[in-house]
Structure 1
Amino acid sequence: MTTADQTAEESPTLRGSVPPVREWARTFAIGICMGSADAVPGVSGGTIALIAGIYGRLIAMITAITPERVWTFLGAFVPTDGRVSVREALAVWEEIDGWFGLALAIGVFTAIIVVTRIVHVASEEVPTLLFGFFFGLIAASAIVLLRELHIETAFQAAAGVVGFGIAFLLSGPVAFLDGGGLLVVFVAGAVAVSAMILPGISGSLLLVILGQYTRMSTTLSTFVDSLAGLVTGGSLAQTIQSGTVVVTFVLGGLVGLFTISRAVRRALDRNRRATMAFLVALVVGALRAPISEVQSTAGFSADTLLAFAAAALVGAVALLLLDWYAVDLDLDSV
């Protein structure tokens, strides 16, 4: 018979639960790489996780986070009998591999903030080069994915056609997306974040398709600047305005991570090749988005076209080198 003292001894302690600094640093560094990849269209954070050897652990962590465990974790901090149960909270935290997820998330968000700052500046100063680079990334990503895709049935082909059609139509000027409110931001967050864990499928690419990539990059940079500005007497109203959009996106991302991403996993389990045909076709159809962006911001002339093509070549070479030296992507293992 297990006594209360034995149970307490077996329960994890905070000191024993925290991983070594070296493990924290390694996970944080992987998060930096994943966040940097997730912040640019055409490169997937899931691919980086695959390269780093943590993809299985990442999926296991996400799957382990259930409403029951969340409820138990939060309930452990509600005082009962005059005290909270830190050991019970730590037990749930370890079940979901919480320290790993925390270090990874900090790395991802740090990189996203830095990269989106670069994108924000580039979108204002050199939009043709920026979107040309993105076009190259997306095109090379499509080549890599199409090389691994095998269509065997009419249903799989139809799924590809539908995916291409959706991406191509949404990648052009769409009024309700361009002027969309917080609902569009929420949906964009849910869709983008749910795709970030899939090798080969970029969450930022889906933001480009939905016409929200530049908007979110600019809003995040504005929010970070306004937060820093509050220290020197900046505008609280601007912080609230941009912060509302960022928080809405994050909430959408959390919902997507635990709903849409699981639905995609089920679809992959039921009909892997049709699902991958749909997802890969999204990448191909999204090639229209960078062209539309340049057309609307700078217009195409001989000089613009040359700069766009040169930047696209750089982007394509960068991604193909990553694919060549880093990982041999096998869609059947996704």
Structure 2
Amino acid sequence: MSRRRSVRALVVVYLKGIFMGAADAVPGVSGGTIALITGIYERLIAAITALDPRALRYLPRLHRRTGRAAFRDALVEMDIPFLMALGLGIATALVTVARLMAYAFETYPAYVAALFFGLIAASAVVLYEYVSLDTPRRVAVAVFGFVLAFVVSGPEVGSSFSNSPTIVFFAGTIAIAGMILPGISGAFFLYVLGQYEYLSNTLTTFTNRLAGLLSGGSVGGLVEPGIVIVAFGVGALIGLFSISYAIRWALANYRAATLTFLVSLMVGALRLPVTDVLDHTSNPNPTVIGTILVVAVLGGVLVLVVDRFTEDIEFS
């Protein structure tokens, strides 16, 4: 492949990463689904599973031409250029959408909750065809998933989760699953765990202060939000090689029960957006109620449109 074609291919991957990141930034459509639509899902999984820390053995020999060549070959073999371009696209979208959501949460909290209700509810409807309640064990799994999500998504529980780096780290390990698994969004887990708004605001604060360095801002201002972002990133990295693999194993070996559990989680978690809508609607006049319903429907339609384009792709 020529250098021009190689650069062009990476730019295309970057753009696909933007679409993945935008999907992962809101509860509903998963980045894994977008990866399926854009035809890079299998390559993404292959690249992730090809990562090999043994490539670091070439680092002490980078001052030699042979060492640099060997290291470059190892990176290409692991498809690191692809992962870097995709990751940069995802990061670009996350930063952009985080800014929009931080503003929306502050200005239109009830409408944001209504949008999330539509996104999550439609996702559960789309995945319902994979639900199986034909055995007592699967019924028990469904009830457990629903009750677990219903309890965790209660306002008294969600508000009890702190925003400490430890909790953020834990949230990162779970949220990453939505980025590589079709059907469920990583942002959904963050929303249920009460970390979504906090992380959106933190990411916006970090990028604002980072940009502020150009106008004489203090580096010290990056420390506090930076610790949160690093904690989430490390958690996501660990989750990528643990929880995500565990879920993929469960799908491979207990597909019906696992999907039933995931869909039950979504249905039970609908308690959270409903509660948020009620808490932030102080004047429930017909106009406000109508707007809330329209926003919820639009969220649901978005998920259904995405599903329309993936109906011929097998969920795996």
Unaligned segments of structure 1, at least 5 residues: 1-14
Q: Work out the CA distance in 2 between the residues paired with 1:262 and 1:177.
A: 29
In structure 1, the residue matched to 2:185 is 202
Offset, 1:290: 1.5
Q: Work out the CA distance in 2 between the residues paired with 1:112 and 1:311.
A: 22
One-letter identity of the residue aligned with 2:290: L
C-alpha spacing 1:277/1:17, structure 2 compared with 1 (3 Å) = farther
User: Which shows bigger deviation, 162-171 or 111-120?
Assistant: 162-171
Alignment of 1:153-192 (within 5 A): 153-173=135-155, 174=157, 177-192=160-175
What is the aligned length? 314
Q: TM-score, normalised by structure 2?
A: 0.92
SS of 1:243's equivalent in the other structure is helix
One-letter identity of the residue aligned with 1:114: T
Aligned partners of 2:163 and 2:195 also within 8 Å: no
Offset, 1:22: 2.0
Offset, 1:203: 0.4
Q: Work out the CA distance in 2 between the residues paired with 1:111 and 1:145.
A: 25
Answer yes or no: is 1:241 the counterpart of 2:227: no
SS of 1:77's equivalent in the other structure is helix
Q: Provide, for residues 234-277 of structure 1, a one-character-per-residue CA deviation record: whole Å limited to 9, x for no partner.
A: 24333211111111111111111111101111111221111111
One-letter identity of the residue aligned with 2:275: S
Offset, 1:40: 0.7
In structure 2, the residue matched to 1:7 is none
User: Which shows bigger deviation, 55-64 or 76-85?
Assistant: 76-85
Aligned-residue identity in percent: 42
Alignment of 1:146-295 (within 5 A): 146-173=128-155, 174=157, 177-295=160-278
Q: Work out the CA distance in 2 between the residues paired with 1:280 and 1:273.
A: 11
C-alpha spacing 1:255/1:200, structure 2 compared with 1 (3 Å) = same
Q: Work out the CA distance in 2 between the residues paired with 1:255 and 1:245.
A: 16
SS of 1:201's equivalent in the other structure is coil
C-alpha spacing 1:204/1:81, structure 2 compared with 1 (3 Å) = closer
Answer yes or no: is 1:50 the counterpart of 2:28: no
One-letter identity of the residue aligned with 1:191: I
Answer yes or no: is 1:86 the counterpart of 2:68: yes
C-alpha spacing 1:149/1:258, structure 2 compared with 1 (3 Å) = same
Aligned partners of 1:194 and 1:203 also within 8 Å: yes
C-alpha spacing 1:264/1:329, structure 2 compared with 1 (3 Å) = farther
SS of 2:184's equivalent in the other structure is coil
Alignment of 1:56-95 (within 5 A): 56-65=42-51, 69-70=52-53, 72-79=54-61, 85-95=67-77
In structure 2, the residue matched to 1:30 is 16
User: Which shows bigger deviation, 30-39 or 277-286?
Assistant: 277-286
Q: Provide, for residues 73-118 of structure 1, a one-character-per-residue CA deviation record: whole Å limited to 9, x for no partner.
A: 2221114897771222223212321111111111111111111111
CA RMSD of aligned residues (A): 2.3
Aligned partners of 1:171 and 1:292 also within 8 Å: no
In structure 2, the residue matched to 1:4 is none
Q: Work out the CA distance in 2 between the residues paired with 1:253 and 1:300.
A: 40
In structure 2, the residue matched to 1:122 is 104
C-alpha spacing 1:176/1:214, structure 2 compared with 1 (3 Å) = closer
Aligned partners of 1:159 and 1:274 also within 8 Å: yes
In structure 1, the residue matched to 2:6 is 20
Offset, 1:139: 0.9
Q: Work out the CA distance in 1 between the residues paired with 2:95 and 2:76.
A: 28
Offset, 1:297: 4.1
Over alpha carbons, which structure has the higher Rg?
A: 1
C-alpha spacing 1:175/1:107, structure 2 compared with 1 (3 Å) = closer
Q: Work out the CA distance in 1 between the residues paired with 2:4 and 2:169.
A: 33
Aligned partners of 1:18 and 1:99 also within 8 Å: no
Aligned partners of 2:172 and 2:232 also within 8 Å: yes
C-alpha spacing 1:80/1:181, structure 2 compared with 1 (3 Å) = closer
Offset, 1:330: 6.0
One-letter identity of the residue aligned with 1:25: V
Q: Work out the CA distance in 2 between the residues paired with 1:91 and 1:17.
A: 16
Alignment of 1:1-16 (within 5 A): none
User: Which shows bigger deviation, 285-294 or 128-137?
Assistant: 285-294
Q: Work out the CA distance in 1 between the residues paired with 2:63 and 2:209.
A: 43
Unaligned segments of structure 2, at least 5 residues: none
C-alpha spacing 1:240/1:159, structure 2 compared with 1 (3 Å) = same
Answer yes or no: is 1:137 the counterpart of 2:123: no
Offset, 1:190: 0.8
Q: Work out the CA distance in 2 between the residues paired with 1:296 and 1:220.
A: 25
One-letter identity of the residue aligned with 1:319: V
Q: Work out the CA distance in 1 between the residues paired with 2:242 and 2:14.
A: 25
